């Protein structure tokens, strides 16, 4: 019998070539997988059946069988390519990756920092693309995803409590509904994967911060009552190609993630272990997202990262490719100086240029990454907000050394003075930890005097919580008793409140530019917005307000910039009356931002 020669068209040929490459990669990956994972016998990516009671070898064999296989090494684009192939060319196992019920309703339960809110928007974008729906009602959900935080023990405690509550809901689910699936995502996932899966049947999926692309597959596995885990950390995952779908699409402000992970290794901090190495997203993809937000009418973007101002896009060709990262004076790092790439100051300039009417903020920075280029950029661009978060953590040099922060009290104070010389209207905020290992009364007193000297508008204050894996856990003793930590915390709160009240009261009688966010939480008779310094401002809602020249009087809307006259204040908010509607550029053209000293580089 004559075999019919197989003639391939160009699409088929391209697909074949890709396929061969993938099979080659797969073989390599399989070889690495069997060398490293089998020897260590601790697979990081695995799926677990409910009956994993077998002997270790059998258990591991099961994990291999249920774990990633050839199909997981194929990318989605190949699945799409298949649509162009004749039926007999379609490879069946490439299709069943998508075999989960469409329109499953997902409920998000978000804990922790703003980074988690933005991660949730990325997760939602991935799931939406895979035909999931979102529900605001927990009882309607088919899938509940908890986006977790592990930074302090209290954060984890909250989540254990929540899991107990959800266990009850899961059990009481009516038999005629598909069983409820629960996913534990984010920072706690990597840390506690075994504990979570071993505890009881509450959690079905565990996924770390770099595994969100894998969620549709992990959730598909749960439909066969399997429990699935992926907590692999990545060196390059930035989700750059995913446009987050905002959880609150009506909001005038949005978060844009620009980098992930942290290389600083402060001795108290779990973040480098839960979120992995520092990596930056390409500037082109950040700008695309900011442009898209601007087109949607967003008026304020906050650039996000664990260490936002050490941003460095090495893919950008830059005339200063051999430039060494410049640090603020008196600051050092635990890692070798990084060379080349586009830096945070350049990124700030480009982002602020997208729309001069859009405010730009960023969080959370490290004080070491405030070289003069960054200060000058903030000073010279009216839409980069004059509000800097400068986490000091402690006011005592010996404690800072034990924390491995890379600066002394004196260097920090010098930096604050330097910044205030060039940006006199700047509002500063900070994080402080009290009761770190070995902190004496005298050392703690230095934190209090630093707070009094700097005068922060906002402060985030924490009692130290020892975390496993951190250097402090290995080297030091968590020897400050809980009641002393509590007393010190209360003292910090008291000092902070006094200062904030003083600073806010000093604004009475002054004019501020406020971006209106919506009604005040307490009453529809009031609107709330934020001034440039990120202080909440409350103003009456039903006033008819004109533009500065007296024209176009109307009610104030969400997204308006309004010049206001501050007439009252407490330690948390300013109260004001609206003066006139304006634009960001017009307001600052009136000279509100004139700096004491112009910075020349």
Which structure tokens are listed for 457? 């508008």
Residue 366 partner contact from ligand SF4, ligand 5AD, none using kind-dependent CB cut-offs of 5 to 8 Å:
ligand SF4
What residues make contact with ligand 5AD under the rule CB under 6 A?
Answer: 151-152, 268-269, 391, 393, 431, 433, 462, 464-465, 467
Cβ proximity to ligand SF4, 265 vs 577, nearer residue: 265
Residue 264 partner contact from ligand SF4, ligand 5AD, none using kind-dependent CB cut-offs of 5 to 8 Å:
ligand SF4
Nearest to 48 by CA among 228, 231, 221: 228
Least distance between ligand SF4 and beta carbon 209 (Å): 13
Select the residue whose beta carbon is closest to ligand 5AD and give its number.
431
Q: What are phi and psi of 86, to 5 degrees?
A: -65, 155
Least distance between ligand SF4 and beta carbon 306 (Å): 4
Least distance between ligand SF4 and beta carbon 592 (Å): 33
Cβ proximity to ligand 5AD, 456 vs 462, nearer residue: 462
Question: Which run of H or of E encompasses 514?
Answer: strand 511-519
Asked whether 233 and 208 are in contact (CB, 8 A), the reply is: yes
Q: Tokens 């194929």 belong to which residue? A: 74
Residue 294 partner contact from ligand SF4, ligand 5AD, none using kind-dependent CB cut-offs of 5 to 8 Å:
none
Residue 467 partner contact from ligand SF4, ligand 5AD, none using kind-dependent CB cut-offs of 5 to 8 Å:
ligand 5AD
Count of CB atoms situated within 10 Å of the CB of 301: 25
Cβ proximity to ligand 5AD, 212 vs 464, nearer residue: 464
Q: Tokens 């034990």 belong to which residue? A: 402
**What does the alpha-carbon distance between residue 563 and residue 330 come to, in Å, rounded to a whole number?**
39
Residue 433 partner contact from ligand SF4, ligand 5AD, none using kind-dependent CB cut-offs of 5 to 8 Å:
ligand 5AD
Q: What are phi and psi of 585, to 5 degrees?
A: -65, -40
Cβ proximity to ligand 5AD, 181 vs 467, nearer residue: 467
CA 491 → CA 396, 461, 572, distances in Å? 16, 10, 18
Cβ proximity to ligand 5AD, 422 vs 464, nearer residue: 464
Cβ proximity to ligand SF4, 260 vs 530, nearer residue: 260
Least distance between ligand SF4 and beta carbon 459 (Å): 15
DSSP 393: B
DSSP 539: E
Residue 45 partner contact from ligand SF4, ligand 5AD, none using kind-dependent CB cut-offs of 5 to 8 Å:
none
Least distance between ligand SF4 and beta carbon 126 (Å): 25
Helices (H), 322-455: 344-354, 372-380, 397-403, 409-422, 441-454
Cβ proximity to ligand SF4, 90 vs 235, nearer residue: 235
Q: Tokens 């901090």 belong to which residue? A: 269
Cβ proximity to ligand 5AD, 275 vs 575, nearer residue: 275
Residue 464 partner contact from ligand SF4, ligand 5AD, none using kind-dependent CB cut-offs of 5 to 8 Å:
ligand 5AD
Least distance between ligand SF4 and beta carbon 546 (Å): 46
What residues make contact with ligand SF4 under the rule CB under 6 A?
Answer: 262, 264-266, 269, 271-272, 306-307, 366
Residue 407 partner contact from ligand SF4, ligand 5AD, none using kind-dependent CB cut-offs of 5 to 8 Å:
none
Least distance between ligand 5AD and beta carbon 306 (Å): 9
CA 234 → CA 208, 293, 346, 398, distances in Å? 10, 27, 26, 34
Least distance between ligand 5AD and beta carbon 488 (Å): 12
Least distance between ligand SF4 and beta carbon 307 (Å): 5
Residue 352 partner contact from ligand SF4, ligand 5AD, none using kind-dependent CB cut-offs of 5 to 8 Å:
none
Least distance between ligand 5AD and beta carbon 261 (Å): 14
Cβ proximity to ligand SF4, 207 vs 269, nearer residue: 269
Cβ proximity to ligand 5AD, 151 vs 360, nearer residue: 151
**What does the alpha-carbon distance between residue 289 and residue 297 come to, in Å, rounded to a whole number?**
13
**What does the alpha-carbon distance between residue 455 and residue 495 come to, in Å, rounded to a whole number?**
9
| DSSP per residue, 549-583 | TS-S-EE--TT-EEEEEEEEE-SSEEEEEEEEEE-
Beta partners for residue 563, in sequence order? 513, 580
Beta partners for residue 228, in sequence order? 47, 205
Q: Give burial (CB, 10 Å; 0-12/13-18/19+) of 167.
A: middle
């Amino acid at each position: 019998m004559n075999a019919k020669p197989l003639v391939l068209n160009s699409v088929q040929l391209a697909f074949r070539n890709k396929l061969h490459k993938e099979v080659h990669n797969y073989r390599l990956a399989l070889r690495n997988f069997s060398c490293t994972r089998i020897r260590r016998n601790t697979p990081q990516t695995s799926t677990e059946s409910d009956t994993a009671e077998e002997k270790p070898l059998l258990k591991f064999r099961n994990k291999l069988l249920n774990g990633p296989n050839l199909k997981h090494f194929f990318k989605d684009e190949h699945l799409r390519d298949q649509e162009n192939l004749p039926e007999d060319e379609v490879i069946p196992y490439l299709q069943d990756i998508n075999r989960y019920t469409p329109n499953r309703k997902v409920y998000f339960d978000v804990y922790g920092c703003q980074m988690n809110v933005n991660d949730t928007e990325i997760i939602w974008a991935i799931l939406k693309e895979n035909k999931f729906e979102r529900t605001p009602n927990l009882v309607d959900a088919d899938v509940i995803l908890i986006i977790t935080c592990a930074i302090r023990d209290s954060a984890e405690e909250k989540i254990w409590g929540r899991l107990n509550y959800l266990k009850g809901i899961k059990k009481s689910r009516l038999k005629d509904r598909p069983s409820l699936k629960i996913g534990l995502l984010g920072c706690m996932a990597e840390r506690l994967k075994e504990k979570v899966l071993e505890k009881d049947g509450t959690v079905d999926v565990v996924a770390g911060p770099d595994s969100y692309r894998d969620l549709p597959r992990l959730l598909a596995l749960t439909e066969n009552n399997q429990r699935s885990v992926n907590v692999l950390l990545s060196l390059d995952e930035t989700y750059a190609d995913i446009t987050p779908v905002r959880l609150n699409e009506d909001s005038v402000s949005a978060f844009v993630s620009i980098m992930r992970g942290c290389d600083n290794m402060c001795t108290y901090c779990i973040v480098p272990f839960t979120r992995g190495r520092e990596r930056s997203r390409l500037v082109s993809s950040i700008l695309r997202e900011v442009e898209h937000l601007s087109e949607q009418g967003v008026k304020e973007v906050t650039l996000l990262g664990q260490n936002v101002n050490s941003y460095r896009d090495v893919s950008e060709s830059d005339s200063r490719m051999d430039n060494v990262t410049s640090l603020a004076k008196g600051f050092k790092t635990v890692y070798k100086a990084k060379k080349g790439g586009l830096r945070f100051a350049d990124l700030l300039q480009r982002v602020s240029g997208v729309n001069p009417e859009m405010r730009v903020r960023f969080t959370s920075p490290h004080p070491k990454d405030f070289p003069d280029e960054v200060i000058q950029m903030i000073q010279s661009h009216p839409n980069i907000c004059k509000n800097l978060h400068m986490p000091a953590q402690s006011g005592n040099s010996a404690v800072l050394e034990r924390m491995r922060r890379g600066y002394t009290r004196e260097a920090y104070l010098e930096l604050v003075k330097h910044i205030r010389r060039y940006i006199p209207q700047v509002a500063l905020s900070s994080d402080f930890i009290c009761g770190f290992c070995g902190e004496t009364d005298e050392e703690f007193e230095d934190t209090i005097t630093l707070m009094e000297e700097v005068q922060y508008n906002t402060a985030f204050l924490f009692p130290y919580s020892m975390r496993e894996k951190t250097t402090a856990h290995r080297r030091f003793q968590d020897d400050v008793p809980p009641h002393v930590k509590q007393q010190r915390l209360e003292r910090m709160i008291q000092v902070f409140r006094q200062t904030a009240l003083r600073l806010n009261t000093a604004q009475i009688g002054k004019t501020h530019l406020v971006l209106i966010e919506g009604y005040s939480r307490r009453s529809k008779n009031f609107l709330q917005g934020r001034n440039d310094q990120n202080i909440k401002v409350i103003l009456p809602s039903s006033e008819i307000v004109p533009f500065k020249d007296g024209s176009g009087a109307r009610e104030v809307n969400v997204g308006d910039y309004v010049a206001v006259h501050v007439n009252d204040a407490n330690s948390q908010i300013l109260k004001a009356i609206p003066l006139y509607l304006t634009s960001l550029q017009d307001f600052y053209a009136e000279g509100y931002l004139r700096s004491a000293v112009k910075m020349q580089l």
